[in-house]
């Protein structure tokens, strides 16, 4: 009869998938190598799968293990929240990695503040930032992402949301470029020079184009880049005009040699929110991290 999966075996499974070796997993869990090896054997029997297989000098997870890993991580998070819900959290002793999916425009202004704020009181905490690849809430449900920071309205009943701030889009130009000395360019002036569009989906059209069209104007988008940060770098070395989040422009404009200005149009503001799954509501460690991130934006 196959071994039953207990919580300790699931912890071993999680460590094996994170580390990719029995030796590293043993070190992570403070086990002996033989003990970790025996646990892998039990996992293989219980799950009916090799879990890790040899590939050259290393080991790689099987497709089954890769599919199962997010669910196991989610179960471990729930168990941790259940056990520690009524205990005081010792932040200074916390050792945990949090995976945060984040919009690039937000990442440029948040990551430094968030890392400094957490490291100051919880040196054992690792913040693992990953770029947006999909806005799917499944990553929050299966535990592969702990927090999601970005724009968008999620109405799923099992997803919790906390507004962080409202962001406006501003125009940027090279400080010593053709429009660098113009304090508030008009819409007509904005149409005289090529634009760079920041769009992860490769879109060259946005809300500004609707405003220009209503005014009988049209801009020329000469380049489309995947992130606002890349757009800012491109503007800093060209005569292009870009549109980026105001916080990004304010924080990095001077160092990049760019100047920012308000767009003379009623463009929609962006609401940036923090999202997490309902199962982590009671997790004191994640609650502390959510509060820390919120305070980083308020400061």
Q: How many CA atoms lie within 13 A of 104 on its CB side?
A: 16
Q: Can you tell me which residue has the tokens 């309205």?
A: 153
| Main-chain dihedrals φ then ψ at residue 42, nearest 5 degrees | -65, -40
Return the CATH class of domain 7-84: mainly alpha
The pLDDT tens digits of the residues spanning 66-80 come to 988 888 887 887 777
For the chain, how big is the Rg over CA atoms in Å?
Answer: 24
Task: Report the side by side order of strands in the sheet with 147-151.
Answer: 125-131, 96-102, 147-151, 270-277, 159-167
- What span, in angstroms and rounded, lies between the C-alpha atoms of 195 and 131? 24
pLDDT of residue 141: 81
Per-residue pLDDT tens listing for the chain (299 residues): 344 567 888 889 988 998 888 998 888 888 889 888 999 999 999 899 999 998 887 889 999 999 888 888 878 877 776 665 555 678 888 888 899 998 877 787 788 888 988 998 999 999 999 877 666 788 888 778 899 988 766 778 888 999 888 889 999 999 999 999 888 999 999 999 999 999 888 888 999 999 999 999 999 999 999 889 999 999 999 999 999 999 899 989 999 999 999 999 989 888 888 999 888 887 888 999 999 988 877 65
Which pTM value belongs to this model?
A: 0.68
Among 218, 246, 211, 219, smallest CA distance to 232 is for: 246
Domain ranges of the chain: 7-84, 92-164+271-296, 169-268
Fold of the 92-164+271-296 domain: D-Maltodextrin-Binding Protein; domain 2 (3.40.190)
pLDDT of residue 299: 57
DSSP category for residue 123: T
Does domain 169-268 sit in CATH 3.40.190.10?
yes
92-164+271-296 with 169-268: one CATH topology? yes
Pairing of strands 270-277, 258-262: unpaired
3-state secondary structure of 195: strand
């Amino acid at each position: 009869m196959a071994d039953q999966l207990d919580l300790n075996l699931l912890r071993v499974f999680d460590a094996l998938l994170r580390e990719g070796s029995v030796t590293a997993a043993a070190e992570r869990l403070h086990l002996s190598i033989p003990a970790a090896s025996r646990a892998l054997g039990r996992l293989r029997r219980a799950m009916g799968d090799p879990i890790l297989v040899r590939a050259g000098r290393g080991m790689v997870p099987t497709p089954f293990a890769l599919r199962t890993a997010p669910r196991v991580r989610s179960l471990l998070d729930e168990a941790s929240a259940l056990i520690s819900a009524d205990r005081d959290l010792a932040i200074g002793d916390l050792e945990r990695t949090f995976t945060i999916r984040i919009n690039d425009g937000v990442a440029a202004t948040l990551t430094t503040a968030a890392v400094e704020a957490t490291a100051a009181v919880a040196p054992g905490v690792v913040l693992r930032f990953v770029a947006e690849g999909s806005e799917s809430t499944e990553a929050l449900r299966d535990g592969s992402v702990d927090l999601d920071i970005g724009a968008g309205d999620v109405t799923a009943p099992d997803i919790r949301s906390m507004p962080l701030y409202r962001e406006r889009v501003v125009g940027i130009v090279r400080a010593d470029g053709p429009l660098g000395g113009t304090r508030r360019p008009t819409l007509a002036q904005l149409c005289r020079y090529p634009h760079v569009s920041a769009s992860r989906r490769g879109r060259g059209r946005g809300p500004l184009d609707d405003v220009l069209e209503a005014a009988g104007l049209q801009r020329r988008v000469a380049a489309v880049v995947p992130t606002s940060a890349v757009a800012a770098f491109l503007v800093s070395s060209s005569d292009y005009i870009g549109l980026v989040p105001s916080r990004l422009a304010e924080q990095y404009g001077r160092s990049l040699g760019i100047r920012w200005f308000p767009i003379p149009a009623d463009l929609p503001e962006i609401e940036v929110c923090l999202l997490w799954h309902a199962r982590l509501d009671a997790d004191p460690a994640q609650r502390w991290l959510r509060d820390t991130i919120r305070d980083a934006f308020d400061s």
